[in-house]
Amino acid sequence: MTLTIINQAPGTTVFIPDVLLHGTSSEKYGLIQVRHHQGNFPPQTFEVNSHNFKLLVHLVQGENELIITQYSGKFVNGVPHYDQTPTYRPIQLTYHLNYKKMVENPTTNLCLLLAKDSPGVFDSPEYKIKREGNDINTAVRKLRFGARLMEAFTSEQMRRNGFGNRCFRFTEEAAIDSLSSQERGNVQRETVKVHVIRMDQTVAEIHDPNVAQQNPNGNNTGALFGWAADAVRKYMNENPGLESFKGENFQASCMIMDAHWDPSQNLLLGHAALGGNAGNLRLAIFGSQGLWSWPTCYEELYSAYSDCTKIDTSVCVNDCNECGSAWEALNISLGAFLHEIGHHLGCPHQPNGVMLRDYVILNRTFMTREFPCIRTGKPGYEPVLPTDECTWNRLDIMRFLYHPSFRIPIDFHDDTIIKNAWEIAEEPVISDMENRSIFVTANTGVYLVEIHVDGNPRAQLEFPPRLSNNGPGPQKELVLSYQDLQNHLRPEFRGKPMKLEILSVGLKQATVENDTWEDPQRIEHDFGLGRGTLAGFVTRCHGNTNNDDTGIIPIYGHGALSNIRVFHGGALDGIEFVHPESRSSTLFGKRTNGYSDVPIDADESVVSFNVRCGAWVDAVQVVTNKKVTPWYGNANGGHGAVIQCPTGYQLVALKGTVGGWVNSIQGIYIRRQK
């Protein structure tokens, strides 16, 4: 008789304290008890169904020895019952795992937001209130354990995709823990920190129907996100020691305690499901309407996912009509909250997985049996296998792979991964090339190219890490041809309009629309090089093309350049290129009284121009093979762009449009002489 763990090799290192173990048993049914390392955590019991089991185990930092024992027995009404007359002898397995806490990684702060006059209770049916209450303390215990479930699910998904036991981590504190009811609140350990934050708004303001996100007639349905951001920022300022990225990109996942189902209006008040950026915050918000269904501790995991009690819609919302029973409400509320956390980690909506609505089957991650489902009308079944479970989409997994919250020790030794990418990352720059190709540069490296057809991603190019996955690592330069990209698509998607999403490390992204796949505009000209007529190619235009066309403005005179004079004030007025041999110059734009000179050495050449632009060109920065100048103009105006040429080409001229100042700018490049 044997027990076999199939998802983690003995001695594996994991980076979160509560992890999933999947396995098989030679016995078809029974109960498995897990005794944790040196008794540091109370024994926990799980179910075996059709030879399969799933265990959630708690680890301490360092090496852990787990004693895993199967007994004859079963759960009855959510409680384990061991057979008085066993049908087989206990089966035992000793298993070792290592836990290393990645203190170097930025964490996600779990927050409970309350109105300034909140009574501190959340919606809950009577039977749950009698059993556990519905106050702030209960909410904190549920959020702590829910956080561990989200971490365990995500870590297992990263492992299955071949990227190791990576996971984001919720901020922790040393405090009296609540993960096991057997400890009765008498044990202190590192546990998830739940920041309890009072908002500036009253309950009445939060319950205003116009604020309710699900109200089709609401006139202020985005307010909760801004209010939550304000509350978190205020709390950050009052608590400067909070974990963050040097004061930037603070991650906060917030549950709004005062969400409330009002059956008289058929409206869920004080709730919004949103995630994304709010300035320097990466923020997720969600209402507490389903929190009543969450387990508070390990001992309640099985009972929570086997609770078939029907929803009392006079008290609790049946969100999206997918919460017909208690265990289904747990799926929806925990899963949808994780969905919003996915947004603040950088994930868009996807064709499947958590970032669609596949969390309606989140229970299958933790259980080998599914109970009768009101949503589908199907009876329960077993065994629930890993192939039946909810997933993160592969494109989400790739985003997590290079997210700093998911780093593992080997990443710090991989020189293809820029460690401060979040501080220095710039949007990938696209340059058109001949033969229906584009040239992509990214200062932190491109790690993913998504190929979209008919509104959905249909294929992708992945660049996994060098050390952890034997991949090429993020690419700082990349040539993508239309034909090669078409070859990655299934036949039914070829020849259709194709869009690219190009992602670089540091959460930067550039979009390439379908109309890109034509060769760049070709211009025949001397370009001031004294080599006769040459074929030049025009870069993308930055700014507004209204006003007068400048024509072609060569950068060099007989191949030489001695000075660049940039005319600027509150915007870019012009750029003059001074040519030493002919004692002449060429002018792009116009001369004004305000200017800055950029001397150019004999062995120096222009590589690119960094640009700030919008309705006009706000500022420019000259980049040569020897230096980068300051910004000339309004460095804070518009958005960033770059005028550059592909490798093997040379930037030789500018063109654009000029009115009161420079309205638009483009570069012209030629093949470099061999």
Q: Which residues are catalytic?
A: 340
Tokens found for residue 497: 């309009």
* Cis, peptide link before residue 383, omega less than 30° from 0: yes
Show the 3-state SS of 316-339.
CCCHHHCCCEHHHHHHHHHHHHHH
At position 210, the amino acid (one-letter code) is: N
CA-wise closest residue to 543 among 648, 447, 637, 440: 637
At position 187, the amino acid (one-letter code) is: V
Neighbours of 581 (CB within 10 A): 12
Q: What is the DSSP string of 569-625?
A: SSSEEEEEEEETTTTEEEEEE---S-EEEEE--TT--EEEEEEEESSSEEEEEEEES
Cα–Cα distance measured from residue 626 to residue 606, given in angstroms and rounded to the nearest whole number: 9
DSSP 3-state percent helix, strand, coil across the chain (nearest 5): 20, 35, 40
Residues whose CB falls within 8 Å of the CB of residue 547, separated by 6 or more in sequence, listed in order: 657, 658, 659, 663
Distances (CA, A) of 213 to 119, 264, 319, 351: 22, 17, 13, 23
3-state DSSP assignment of residue 341? helix
Residue with token string 């997720």: 284
Do residues 292 and 124 lie in contact, with contact meaning Cβ atoms separated by under 8 Å?
Answer: yes
Do residues 354 and 157 lie in contact, with contact meaning Cβ atoms separated by under 8 Å?
Answer: no
3-state DSSP assignment of residue 303? helix
Q: What are phi and psi of 489, to 5 degrees?
A: -90, 150
Do residues 309 and 329 lie in contact, with contact meaning Cβ atoms separated by under 8 Å?
Answer: no
Cα–Cα distance measured from residue 497 to residue 512, given in angstroms and rounded to the nearest whole number: 11
Regarding beta strands 498-504 and 475-481, do their DSSP bridges make them parallel or antiparallel, or are they unpaired?
unpaired
For the stretch 493-521, what's the b/e string if a residue is b when 16 or more beta carbons lie within 10 angstroms of its beta carbon? beeeebbbbbbbbbbbbbebeeebbeebe
